[in-house]
A and B are shown apart, each in its own frame.
Chain A
């Protein structure tokens, strides 16, 4: 596809369950970011990948959150033992620039609701 693709677009789960959110960046983009956006707030940085490695994961709120990008393309954000406070829209963005990224291209997001 032409843009950043995120699946699922909506996910409703129960407290304590495990969820995976997938991001398929624009082909050839080396940089990939995950953000979390709560209602009425700006995107909150979670993690940044340059290629396969997590260059900066300082935004992950706790050890229930983990993200991988094993082949330097698709990335998966994994959340264990979900809590109601995890409910938000999870946004993925990619950028073509290696090193210092320029413009970020965002996906439509995955809306997570934890009941």
Chain B
């Protein structure tokens, strides 16, 4: 059974700091996704990672994938308040896409 674990589940950080969210998964997978969700809103796609060593960057967010370690990271550089949200990783295997519990990120001004 495919399981997806994120840590930390909650993170409060100061503006301007760097931090990393980790996503581990239990079985081999052919794709990994990162999503953002604002309170009361739906999910917004951030990144799709399809191969070992893939790295994608958008603004202050950078995602990477290590399929051998079954690990993806989402790195936040010089955080700003607008990045406060819940971040989900999701892992695809065959037809299913399974989500982690999410990391609730709160950035203090």
**Of the residues A33, A58, A107, contact of B97 by C-beta under 8 Å:** A33
Contact between B42 and A91, CB atoms less than 8 A apart? yes
Q: Does B45 lie within 8 Å of A104, measured CB to CB? A: yes
Give how many A-B residue pairs fall within 8 Å (CB-CB): 56
- In the complex, the answer to whether A102 meets B43 with C-beta atoms within 8 Å is no
CA distance A50 to B100 in the complex (A): 23
- A contact residues around B45 at 8 Å (CB): 103-105
**With a CB–CB cut-off of 8 A, which chain A residues contact B41?**
108
The 8 Å CB contact of A50, one of B31, B92, B95, is: B95
A41 to chain B: closest residue by CB? B101
The answer to whether A56 has its CB under 8 Å from any CB of chain B is: yes
Secondary structure class of chain B's binding surface, majority of residues: strand
Chain A: how many interface residues by the 8 Å CB criterion?
A: 25
Docked-complex contact A103 and B33, CB < 8 angstroms? yes
Residue numbers in A under 8 Å from B96 (CB-CB) = 45, 48, 56, 58-59
Asked if A104 and B97 make an inter-chain contact with CB atoms under 8 angstroms apart, the answer reads yes
Assuming the contacts A106-B42, A108-B42, asked whether A100 and B101 have C-beta atoms less than 8 A apart, the reply is: no
- Number of B residues whose C-beta is below 8 Å from A? 24
Residues of the B chain whose Cβ atoms lie less than 8 Å from the Cβ of A42:
4, 88, 90, 99-102
Contact present for B42 and A107 (CB under 8 Å):
yes
In whole Å, how far is A64's beta carbon from the nearest beta carbon of chain B? 21
What residues of B have a CB within 8 angstroms of the CB of A93 in the complex? 43
Whole-angstrom distance between the Cβ of A30 and the nearest chain B Cβ: 12
Q: Which residue from chain B places its CB closest to the CB of A102 in the assembled complex?
A: B48
Most buried by A among B33, B88, B96: B96
Binding site for A on B (CB under 8 A): 4, 30-31, 33, 35, 41-45, 48, 50, 88, 90, 92, 94-102
- List A residues at the B interface (Cβ < 8 Å): 33, 35, 41-45, 48, 50, 55-56, 58-59, 91, 93, 100-109
Q: 14 A-B Cβ contacts within 8 A? A: A35-B99, A42-B102, A43-B43, A43-B88, A43-B99, A45-B97, A45-B98, A48-B96, A55-B95, A56-B96, A58-B96, A100-B30, A105-B45, A108-B41
Per CB-CB distance, the 6 closest pairs between chain A and chain B, nearest first, are: A42-B99, A56-B95, A106-B43, A106-B42, A43-B99, A42-B101
